[in-house]
Structure 1
Amino acid sequence: MLLLAGTVAGAESGWAQQTPAPVAQQPSTQPSLTVDRDPVASPDKDAPAASAAGAASATDLGEIERQHGRYTLHEDAYEVRLNATVLDGSGRSIQTLTKDAFHVYEDGVPQTILSFRHEDLPVSIGLLIDSSGSMYDKRPAVDKASLDFVKLSNPEDEEFLVDFSWQPYIDQDFTNNIAKLQEGLSYVKSSGGTALYDALVASADYLAKNAKHPKQVLLVVTDGEDNASSATLEQTIRRIQDLDGPVIYCVGLLFGQDIDKREARHARSVLEALSEQTGGVAYFPKSVNEVDAIAAQVAQDIRTQYTISYHSTKSPALGGYREVHVDAREKGYGKLSVRTRTGYYPRVTKAAGGGAGSGS
């Protein structure tokens, strides 16, 4: 078994060999994943983590560089990338909008859109499946839906598979091979509690450092509230916002006679918060028979989103949370709603001259 460690406060996630020492001896702020496979090399500790939501590189704040007899001023600009879904008043996805239909605001200030794309971009995806004891009878339907989701995704996508009970395990790292994912699902054993937050933190950290594609998603399937994580909901959301992503889609299997209504209400609010803060959607089917259709809906949503980027008018060196809002208006349509992440924390990289750079 192998361990993938993720931190709430920040720095490292990577693969490491699990030792016989009890999990309880690990720091409480470090969620971990374990896997039945050969070790994968850990990312370089000293290398800056790749951003989870974009591709701009770090530059020195206000640094003037001399090259080939010319002086170039590196501007203090932060590129923010948004994946957006547009819905009309009936909840139907609108696919015909142009760049001019969109208006982006950061902390209430209008931003200038730099790039606009509406195409099926490849995605790096983490499939997170609750393997607590209460999931035992739901697993066949969930496994089928997971594989069908991958089959309906972009052929260039890459997926890794995680199951979580008392702690999160990884059963297959990045692949687009259906047979390997199916084999990974066969490792999952249903028992124990629900360490949802730890699984999200560790998986988000792993995406940020190892994903091949800038567009990134976590799809979570669970039937209850977290009762085993070292991280809290607030810490989990903050960590994901610190990483500029990924988008989280949740499927809450909150049905059955054994479900406590109070716990189900709390679990629903948690899954809704995780999705809304990151630009995803939370689904709550009434039976396992609906899970496959939901997986197909998620795959369709991911493949048909608009991708918008802009340079923030606020210096990344100022830090702090930035609230993002996107409007869409087009003649011939009524009121349109845009689903995207609600905000972010700028990732500031200290460059070699003491300056601050940015990348999103």
Structure 2
Amino acid sequence: MKSCRVGVVAAVAFSLPMAAWSQEADDANASSAPLAEAPRVDAVDEAGVAEVILNEINTDAYPEVRLFVTVLRDGEPVDGLVASDFRVREDEVDQTPLTVEAQLPPLSVVLAIDTSGSMAPAIADAKAAARDFLNTLTPQDNAQLLGFAREITEYTGMSTDRAALSTSIDALSARGDTALYDALARSVELVDEEQGRKAIVLLSDGVDDDGAGSPLSEATADSVLSDAAAVNVPIFVVGLGDELDVEGLTRIASASGGRFLTAADASELGEVYAIIGSQLSGQYAVTYTSSLPADGTLRRIDLEAAGQQTSKSYTPDADAATAAAAAAPSTGCAVADLFTSYLPDYAELTALEAEGLLTSSVVYGQTEAIKDELLAAVEAAPVSLDCTTRIYEVVTQAREAETAESTATDQILRAVIAKANAECVQNGADPDGFRACFMSTLPLEDFYRTLAQKDLVEPFAVAIGQSMDRREALTYLRDAIASGLPITSQTQNQILEVLMQE
């Protein structure tokens, strides 16, 4: 197998203390990064076997900040990392607590494929690689196909319909010149319309060219970098052959949080697309609530993971942050921290019972007392949407360690779900207002996801029915699910039944 070459912006000496490393990275960015809005350092150790990449900073629900992070060793995603393996600093201020999830929200990805005349010998392999890439996506992930030559063609909208996407890929043909940077600019515009996790994957075999040796695009590498920084979307660039704008494409990929990979010939494209698919599916979602105000200033995030370090910047939108804060049901999940603090007590009770030092009756009484205190904490404090995810993580941890009785943990999780739903319904004034309610159920397993969505069915259906006629309501629901709203089939049927009664 031929090797796939990966572009890397900078190497950093990781023996430096944090302050020294941060200053050196700042100096390096000041001298090499073309735009202050997108400073970035790829972190690779001296042996080249470990790397951490901060792909995306998502602030859709600011002050909640969600980092999508790839950790690689020998080019392969590293799994099994937990919150203690990560450290996040925002403008030199440690951000805690961190929530780390390996189960990711749906991805919205634009597949941009060069269809200029020079791609004719490689177009069949490019199509096959693109179809294989679709197979790396989850059923909830959205993809959109864009082809570019002299003109930019959007072959599909953002969709989960793999058959339609595959058919559109089959229809690609190669002819014309190469408006490469206009294609990237349009791809950024398309993902900017999407919520949640985003990415752009672009394939090209050349440079931006009008056929006479001059640039064809109105956009430039710098303007694409600026736009990508504003949207905070990672751009993965696949370069085919050796007649490439290596400097421009490497800069865009690295500064945006993506990767620049090359294939010497078309037969390697499948391998390269597989690498990108693996890295996107192997991301971690690292979430925290920023302790800094949304004042519209540039923020630098320094991330440490598994002993490696990287950085990226973003600017919180003050207006968006205000709107998100107004729409959010509440902030906080005190019960999750309280539950975590009791895990050692659960473990000790289990161990003492196993040794015959405590009877099952006494252990039951002790665990019931803990459960009652946790249920009281649920009632006493506000419950944010992400509280269901945090409680679910603690419950899963307790179950896997067999330290907490499943009936008790089930009652606690159900109580959190019920309260989060009640607050969410109060704030869901229109159909779109329920999107965050449903998205908060995404990390849950199917049983609890359906349970969490049960109380949302009627108010969501009523909100749809009151704002549009039946056909529009049915279309709205279909399109919402197609765009990644994580509604289970059972929930969908329940919503449809309510709509048909309207």
TM-score (norm 2): 0.49
Q: Considering only aligned residues, what root-mean-square deviation do their CA atoms show, in Å?
A: 2.9
Distance (whole Å) between structure 2 residues aligned to residue 357 and residue 233 of structure 1: 37
* 2:129–2:270 Cα contact (<8 Å) kept: yes
Task: Return the match for 2:157 from 173, 192, 199.
Answer: 173
SS of the residue 2:140 aligns to: coil
Q: Which residue of 2 aligns with 1:241?
A: 229
Question: Post-superposition shift, 1:357?
Answer: 8.7
191 and 85 in structure 1: CA distance in 2 versus 1, 3 angstrom threshold: same
194 and 315 in structure 1: CA distance in 2 versus 1, 3 angstrom threshold: farther
Task: Return the match for 2:60 from 51, 55, 64.
Answer: 55
SS of the residue 2:285 aligns to: strand
Point out where structure 1 has 5 or more consecutive residues left out of the alignment: 1-50, 58-77, 330-334
Q: Which amino acid is 2:241 matched to? A: L
Task: Return the match for 1:345 from 311, 315, 318.
Answer: 315
Question: Post-superposition shift, 1:247?
Answer: 1.8
Give yes or no for the alignment of 1:193 onto 2:177.
Answer: yes
SS of the residue 2:206 aligns to: coil
Q: Which amino acid is 2:252 matched to? A: L
Task: Return the match for 2:300 from 323, 345, 349.
Answer: 323
Question: Post-superposition shift, 1:281?
Answer: 1.4
Give yes or no for the alignment of 1:112 onto 2:100.
Answer: no
Q: Deviations over 1:234-258 (max 9, x none)?
A: 2211112112x22211100133xxx
* 2:136–2:281 Cα contact (<8 Å) kept: no
Q: Which amino acid is 1:53 matched to? A: N
SS of the residue 2:235 aligns to: strand
Task: Return the match for 2:268 from 290, 295, 298.
Answer: 290
Q: Deviations over 1:30-73 (max 9, x none)?
A: xxxxxxxxxxxxxxxxxxxxx9934316xxxxxxxxxxxxxxxx
Q: Which residue of 2 aligns with 1:87?
A: 72
Task: Return the match for 2:118 from 127, 134, 144.
Answer: 134
Distance (whole Å) between structure 1 residues aligned to residue 268 and residue 65 of structure 2: 35
358 and 286 in structure 1: CA distance in 2 versus 1, 3 angstrom threshold: farther
Question: Post-superposition shift, 1:114?
Answer: 4.1
Q: Deviations over 1:137-174 (max 9, x none)?
A: 11100100001110121121111100112232101112
Deviates further, 200-209 or 218-227: 200-209
Give yes or no for the alignment of 1:309 onto 2:291.
Answer: no
Point out where structure 2 has 5 or more consecutive residues left out of the alignment: 1-55, 209-214, 329-502
Task: Return the match for 2:136 from 133, 140, 152.
Answer: 152
Larger RCO of the pair (alpha carbons < 8 Å, separation 6+): 1
Question: Post-superposition shift, 1:232?
Answer: 1.8
Q: Which amino acid is 2:287 matched to? A: S
Q: Which amino acid is 1:235 matched to? A: S
* 1:347–1:358 Cα contact (<8 Å) kept: no
Q: Deviations over 1:281-326 (max 9, x none)?
A: 1111111111111112211111111111233344322x24323221
Distance (whole Å) between structure 2 residues aligned to residue 163 and residue 195 of structure 1: 10
Question: Post-superposition shift, 1:128?
Answer: 0.3
203 and 91 in structure 1: CA distance in 2 versus 1, 3 angstrom threshold: closer
Which protein has the larger Cα radius of gyration, Structure 1 or Structure 2?
A: 2
Q: Which residue of 2 aligns with 1:220?
A: 202
* 2:58–2:197 Cα contact (<8 Å) kept: yes
231 and 115 in structure 1: CA distance in 2 versus 1, 3 angstrom threshold: same
Q: Which amino acid is 2:175 matched to? A: S
108 and 269 in structure 1: CA distance in 2 versus 1, 3 angstrom threshold: farther
Q: Which amino acid is 2:239 matched to? A: G
Give yes or no for the alignment of 1:279 onto 2:257.
Answer: yes
286 and 113 in structure 1: CA distance in 2 versus 1, 3 angstrom threshold: farther
SS of the residue 2:187 aligns to: helix
Question: Post-superposition shift, 1:202?
Answer: 1.9
* 2:77–2:278 Cα contact (<8 Å) kept: no
SS of the residue 2:155 aligns to: strand
Distance (whole Å) between structure 2 residues aligned to residue 302 and residue 270 of structure 1: 23
* 2:131–2:169 Cα contact (<8 Å) kept: no
SS of the residue 1:307 aligns to: strand
Question: Post-superposition shift, 1:177?
Answer: 2.5
Give yes or no for the alignment of 1:232 onto 2:220.
Answer: yes
* 1:56–1:358 Cα contact (<8 Å) kept: no
Question: Post-superposition shift, 1:350?
Answer: 7.1
* 1:119–1:303 Cα contact (<8 Å) kept: no
TM-score (norm 1): 0.67
SS of the residue 2:58 aligns to: coil
* 2:61–2:321 Cα contact (<8 Å) kept: no
* Identical residues among aligned pairs (%): 27
Q: Which residue of 1 aligns with 2:479?
A: none
Q: Which residue of 1 aligns with 2:277?
A: 299
Question: Post-superposition shift, 1:276?
Answer: 1.5
Q: Which amino acid is 1:237 matched to? A: L
Q: Which amino acid is 1:80 matched to? A: V
Distance (whole Å) between structure 1 residues aligned to residue 230 and residue 326 of structure 2: 15
* 2:127–2:170 Cα contact (<8 Å) kept: no
Higher helix share: 2
SS of the residue 2:157 aligns to: strand
Distance (whole Å) between structure 1 residues aligned to residue 81 and residue 121 of structure 2: 43
* 2:76–2:279 Cα contact (<8 Å) kept: no
* 2:302–2:309 Cα contact (<8 Å) kept: no
Question: Post-superposition shift, 1:193?
Answer: 2.5
221 and 358 in structure 1: CA distance in 2 versus 1, 3 angstrom threshold: farther
